[in-house]
Structures are given as structure tokens and as C-alpha cells.
Structure 1
């Protein structure tokens, strides 16, 4: 499986993870800044949250880690949380903006 195929699978997995307070997945919300594949089986995800004091932060990060690590082709996952740049609604996909009534 190519890195591109693995990245596409990871994106599909990220689209199954939701911020409990917002009915849009974390990928379409624009919370995923980078997905880096090292070798063929190691992944680093650079992400943010909608707010630094998000009460569900640990749960969301753990779910990202666990779901990616469950892939048979992945042996190691590193999830890095950043608030630089801070998230804002302009980072959302058009689909997410439409769903939340921003369009």
C-alpha cells in the first residue's frame, strides 16, 4: 500500500471522529493540520482543538491515536496538539460551514 493510500485511509478514519459539542467531524472542522507518514508504518498527526480549554481534549486525542493505531499497516502514532495557529471557522471545509449554517 502506498503512502498516499495510507494517508487517504487515515483521513477517512479522522472523518469518523467528532467533537462532542459540534456535529461535524474533526477533519472537516479543520482541526487536522498535518498528517506525516514516516517509513510505511509510523504516523504523526499535528492537530488543534476549537478551544484551548476544550473539556474533551484528552478523549479526542486518545480517539485519534487509537483509531489510527488500529490500522494493520500502522505500528506507531504520535498525536501532537498545537494552538499555533489558533483554530478559527475559516479552517472548516465548505461542507462543514454549510452544515453549521455559516454559508
Structure 2
């Protein structure tokens, strides 16, 4: 597994607190790259630009990526283009959200 793949796997542990689904399955992570020096660069978005928990999510991303062996530095860049839409979610995210709605 590549270092980038290990970072993505670590990011699957970061849960969007409002939706309750991880940010990878939600389609919020657009790109992950890791330099030879161990700097992880993560391009991601949020479900809405005005997200009140943006700082928490970014902090959780930095922490999760920083715990991956071989990563020495983490740079998270929030981007708003392309805009996030529910179509970016994978099937796992859709099923988790449906299950939560059924339980409500």
C-alpha cells in the first residue's frame, strides 16, 4: 500500500460530526499526495462553505494524517471548486445515512 493510500485509510477515521459519516466516503477528500520528504498535502472541501465545524474537521484531518508512519508534515487546503454535492458520496455513505434516518 502506498503512503498516499495509507493516508486516505487514516482519513476514513475522520467523521463529519454533523452527518456522522467519514469524510472519504462523503467525497470530501479530493486529492492526497505525499512528497519524498514526508509532507502530506490534502485537498478537500466541506459540505457547505459556512460549516461551523470546519476548524474541528481540519484539525482531525491533520491529526489523522500526521499519525501515519512516514508523514512528517501535513498541509490541508480547503477548496470550494469543484463544489461538493451529494453525488460525490460513495454507496457506503449513502447506506449509512439511510440507516441513520431509518433509526430516527
Q: Distance in 2 between matches of 1:71 and 1:12?
A: 9
Matched, 1:13 2:4: no
Q: Distance in 1 between matches of 2:8 and 2:66?
A: 13
How far apart are 1:37 and its partner, in Å? 1.5
Cross-structure match for 2:71 = 74
How far apart are 1:5 and its partner, in Å? 2.2
Gaps of 5+ in 2: 99-104
Q: Distance in 1 between matches of 2:97 and 2:68?
A: 31
The count of corresponding residues between Structure 1 and Structure 2 is: 98
Structural mapping, 1:89-100, within 5 Å? 89-100=86-97
SS in structure 2 of the partner of residue 100 of structure 1: helix
Cross-structure match for 2:57 = 60
Output the TM-score relative to the length of structure 1.
0.88
How far apart are 1:13 and its partner, in Å? 0.9
Output the TM-score relative to the length of structure 2.
0.87
Q: Distance in 2 between matches of 1:38 and 1:63?
A: 21
Gaps of 5+ in 1: none
Q: RMSD of the alignment, in Å?
A: 1.2
Q: Distance in 1 between matches of 2:69 and 2:84?
A: 31
SS in structure 1 of the partner of residue 75 of structure 2: strand
Cross-structure match for 2:22 = 25
